[in-house]
Amino acid sequence: MAAVVLAPSILAADFARLGDQVRQAEGAGAGWFHVDVMDGHFVPNLSIGLPVLESLRAVSDSFLDVHLMMDNPGPFLELFAKAGADLITIHQEVSPHLHRDIHEIRRLGCRAGVALNPSTPPDTLREMLPAIDLVLCMTVNPGFGGQQFIPEVLDKVARVRRMQAEMNIDSLHVEVDGGIGVSNARQAAAAGADVLVAGSSVFRGPGTIEENYTAIRASLAVAV
Ligand code: DX5
Ligand code: ZN
């Protein structure tokens, strides 16, 4: 199995102690963090935005993966790039001009991702697959941390990998996001996911942040 990234989602962190908590996860080996931006329209919740991303960028050299759960991301892409995003993911469901948005993200010097809700098929991504760096298969309905993992989505992960093989695309990340922890991380990786986002199970798990992160990593080495 190729190298798998375990990316803590800061949505589940204590925002009053964000820098410390990110450092703790980094101490356990994390080098990629997932940043959830919610607009109260595309998803029924609000979260964080540019100021928090800027503050995080100022205290961390880790890779910052920004997941935009917003209706109209186009006018904000440059602001997120300037605030320190390394990768910007937009939702397929809200982007009729995916080609323009993806090329804009790349022009800004970021990697580009496209997210699919659990009910969105991956087939519509075929045209764009060669131009994107990451497909995010949501394993919960976006909007909240701490929800239950939807196992059927792993079939979609495998379908994205098959599409990648058919199209002879060398490099593509497939990310899963929502409800990931020790009980299913290995299964998600076996289906073809190489970026596993984990919020509650890292920042609100049974042990310290270091212990939780290490336990999920260790679970990846166990046979399914
Ligand atoms: C949900 C977000 C997720 C969330 C995952 O809308 O996109 O990134 O933080 O949280 P957990 O791991 O707690 O399900
Ligand atoms: Zn997310």
| Structural domains of the chain, with CATH | 5-219 (3.20.20.70)
CA of 166 to the centre of ligand 1 (A): 30
Using pLDDT thresholds of 50, 70 and 90, give the confidence band for residue 159.
very high
Contacts of 28 (CB under 8 A, 6+ apart): 209, 210, 213, 214, 217
Q: What is the mean pLDDT of the chain?
A: 97
With a pLDDT cut of 90, the percent of the chain lying above it is: 96
If you measure from the C-alpha of residue 36 to the centroid of ligand 1, how many angstroms do you get, rounded to a whole number?
Answer: 8
CA angle at 69 for the pair 217 and 84, rounded to the nearest 5° = 70
CA 207 to chain centroid: 23
> Of 36, 39, 65, 101, which is the active-site residue?
36
Q: Does the pLDDT at position 151 exceed 60?
A: yes
Q: Residue 196 forms beta bridges with which residues? A: 6, 176
